[in-house]
Amino acid sequence: MPADALRRLSAILPADRLLWQPAHLAAYQSDALTAFQSPPLAVAIPETADEVIALVRACHAGRLPFVARGSGTSLSGGSLPVKGGIVIALNRLNRILRLDPAERIAVVEPGVINLAVTAAAAPHGLHYAPDPSSQSICTIGGNVAFNSGGAHCLKYGMTSNHVLGLRAVLATGEVVEFGGGRREQIGPDWCGLFTGHEGLFGIALEITLQLLPRAECFHTVLAGYRTLEQAGDAVSAIVASGLLPGAIEIMDALALEAAKAAVHADYPPHCEAVLIVELEGPREAVAADRLRLDALLAASQPVEARPARNPAERLAIWKGRKSAFSAVGRLSPDFIVQDGVVPRRRLGEALRRIGKFSREAGLRCANVFHAGDGNLHPLILYNGRNPGELGRAEALAGRILRLCVDMGGSITGEHGIGVEKRDYLPAMFSSDEIDCLRRIRAAFDPLGIANPGKMFPGGEAPALHAHGPHPLERAGVISRE
């Protein structure tokens, strides 16, 4: 690695914001997919957009790989450090630069927490619609990189549907501006292309978000079912009816067990699955839709259907759902959160076959997912200390992904490809299509230094940097004396 590139970094940031000691790097060696770990060469912590631009330009000049990182909640290894590269941590770029309730927009830096946008907009009767399960800690920059969704994406769409404008620094060091403050744009949808790029193009510096009026009324129902397939069939019936709830979610028995243990969630007993359906909108519209929903749920023969009687009960229902991923950690020392999509009409079939795969692999699998758009999140439980168990878990995850593709779905709904699913990309795209994706990436990053080794099959595997003197020490940037 060229020493001058490292010297440039030390000229940009003070010593306390250029981390290199092993104890400091440990916190950055993986994201939420802890099965992959690799310490970075160094971690740069900028506090301004100008510092981010200077860091990227220094990396480009020295051909130094870099990975942008927010809160590290990626579940696909998307913010995993790369061999011989640095992490650019964006948490301190956490200002809401402008909030215009008349235009219903917020302009934010990439390190702003997702839920903080809604908190800032709430006094104006507005909210930011995308709500990933990690919304209390994940950042908008990461949401943009992976086109995050959430429980309410059925009605409101993904992050890409709410990003109106972007100011970004590309991997070449060029600063670009895409879109603006309005949805009506002329020409190519550059914001749509940039959103979901998984850090392969560059780093977003300012994001203009669309805000929406908060719903006047909510009606949330919790329905318990004897089988997971029954719950999936109920979802198909609701969607086929033309009803458009704000959210439709499913949790299976194992996920319910975890949520009860973690947050004492009160769910119907003796059920293999629960269905959460939430209507929202004007009071009159919700009242009319409620009658239709009640009839559909009654026809699906649940063990129990329990509507939330007040806001506190509604929040309690969602608290159990939002905590499900982390709560599974109470049941197993390790788990893989998978992310695939199947057509809604085949949800019941998909769930039945995933259960069969799980039994054949000898591993437990908890199912938590955005049922309304067919986005499955099987949580595969394993113990990494048992020889061969991680391999069996990964094989089961791959089998589920192939099932999704065979059913006419996708290998990802909102978690991205990262390192976890890059070898499955050819199952979904032809070689010509993958070549086209590579050429688009190269147009933004000719040197391939922005988050290399991610998304595309055959990329360099993550690895530890060599033993011996730290490269920053060899470059004269740091000293152990």
CATH of the domain at 405: 3.30.70.2740
Closest CA to 415 of 384, 380, 357, 455: 455
Please tell me whether residues 67 and 196 are part of one structural domain: yes
- One domain, residues 160 and 290: no
Q: Is residue 122 part of a domain?
A: yes
| Stronger pLDDT, 307 or 269, i.e. the higher one | 307
CB 296 within 8 A of CB 238: yes
- Is 473 inside any structural domain? no
- How many C-beta atoms surround the C-beta of residue 408 within 10 A? 12
Assess whether 202 and 295 both reside in one domain: no
Instruction: Determine, yes or no, domain membership for 118.
Output: yes
- Same domain membership, residue 423 and residue 437: no
What pLDDT is recorded for position 5? 67
> What's the pLDDT band for 8 if we cut at 50, 70, 90?
confident
Does a structural domain hold residue 68?
Answer: yes
Q: What is the pLDDT, as a whole number, of residue 6?
A: 72
Closest CA to 278 of 307, 309, 253: 307
Q: Which of 4-13, 338-347, 389-398, 407-416 has the lowest average pLDDT?
A: 4-13
In a domain, 372, yes or no: yes
pLDDT in tens, 204-247: 999 999 999 999 999 999 999 998 888 988 988 998 899 999 99
Report pLDDT for 88: 98
Same-domain pairing of 64 and 174:
yes
What CATH number is attached to the domain comprising 304?
Answer: 3.30.70.2190
- pLDDT at 470 (0 to 100): 45
Q: What is the pLDDT of residue 467?
A: 38
101 and 174 share one domain: yes
Are 290 and 343 in the same domain?
A: no
Residues 278 and 387 occupy one common structural domain? no
Please report, for the domain that includes residue 107, its CATH number: 3.30.465.10
Residue 275, domain member (yes or no): yes
Q: Is residue 480 part of a domain?
A: no
Strands of 92-216 (E only): list them: 96-100, 105-108, 126-127, 163-170, 175-179, 202-210, 212-213
- Mean pLDDT estimate for the chain: 89
Q: pLDDT for 44-88, tens place per residue?
A: 999 999 999 999 999 999 999 999 999 999 989 999 998 889 999
Instruction: Compute the distance between CA of residue 277 and CA of residue 279 in angstroms, rounded to an integer.
Output: 7
Indicate if 433 and 410 belong to the same structural domain.
no
Same domain, 247 and 188: no
Alpha-carbon distance 260 to 434, whole Å? 43
In a shared domain, residues 210 and 223: no
Q: What is the pLDDT of residue 331?
A: 83
Compute the 3-state secondary structure of the chain and give helix, strand, coil in percent, each to the nearest 5.
Answer: 40, 20, 40
Residues 22 and 128 in one domain: yes
Q: What pLDDT score was predicted for residue 459?
A: 58
Q: What is the mean pLDDT of residues 30-45?
A: 89
pLDDT at 463: 38
Structural domains of the chain, count: 3
Q: Is residue 248 part of a domain?
A: yes
Q: In terms of residue numbers, what domain contains 199?
A: 1-214+429-467
